[in-house]
Structure 1
Amino acid sequence: MPPFSLVGIDHVVFLVDDMPRALKFYGEVIGCVPGYSYPALGMEQVWCGAALIVLWDVTHPGATSAIPPVKGGRNVDHLCIATSPFAPDAMRAHLAAHNVQIDREAVHGGARGVGHSFYIFDPFGNKLEIKGPAEYPDGR
Structure 2
Amino acid sequence: MNAAHLDHVNLRIPESRVDDAVNFYRETLGFRLEDLDAYQAGDRPIFSVRLSATSIIHLSPSESFEPPEARNFDHVAIVVEETIEEVKAELGDAGVGIERESTPKGATGTAPAVYIQDPFGYRLEIKSSHAEI
TM-score by length of 2: 0.80
- 1:70–1:8 Cα change, 3 Å: same
Residues of 2 paired with 1:95 and 1:117: CA distance? 12
Using the TM superposition, give the Cα deviation of residue 107 of structure 1 relative to its aligned residue in structure 2, in angstroms.
Answer: 1.4
Residue pair 1:34, 1:46 contacting (<8 A) in 2 also: yes
Residues of 1 paired with 2:84 and 2:130: CA distance? 13
Residues of 1 paired with 2:5 and 2:124: CA distance? 17
Query: Among residues 3, 6, 11, which one is paired with 1:6 in the alignment?
Result: 3
Residues of 1 paired with 2:12 and 2:71: CA distance? 11
Residue pair 2:81, 2:130 contacting (<8 A) in 1 also: no
1:95 aligns with 2:95: no
Query: Among residues 108, 116, 123, which one is paired with 2:119 in the alignment?
Result: 123
What percent identity do the matched residue pairs reach? 28
Residue pair 1:45, 1:54 contacting (<8 A) in 2 also: yes
Number of aligned residue pairs: give it: 126
Residue pair 1:16, 1:55 contacting (<8 A) in 2 also: yes
Residues of 1 paired with 2:68 and 2:29: CA distance? 26
Higher helix share: 2
The aligned residue for residue 55 of structure 1 is: 59
The aligned residue for residue 44 of structure 1 is: 47
TM-score by length of 1: 0.77
Unaligned runs of 5+ in 1: 60-65
Using the TM superposition, give the Cα deviation of residue 87 of structure 1 relative to its aligned residue in structure 2, in angstroms.
Answer: 4.4
Query: Among residues 13, 29, 44, which one is paired with 1:16 in the alignment?
Result: 13
- RMSD (CA atoms): 2.3
1:34 aligns with 2:30: no
Match of 2:109, SS state, is: coil
Instruction: After superposing the two structures, state which structure 1 stretch, 18-27 or 93-102, moved more.
Output: 93-102
Residues of 2 paired with 1:104 and 1:113: CA distance? 19
Residue pair 2:112, 2:132 contacting (<8 A) in 1 also: no
The aligned residue for residue 25 of structure 1 is: 24
Instruction: After superposing the two structures, state which structure 1 stretch, 76-85 or 36-45, moved more.
Output: 36-45
The aligned residue for residue 108 of structure 1 is: 104
Residue pair 1:69, 1:75 contacting (<8 A) in 2 also: no
- 1:93–1:75 Cα change, 3 Å: same
Unaligned runs of 5+ in 2: none
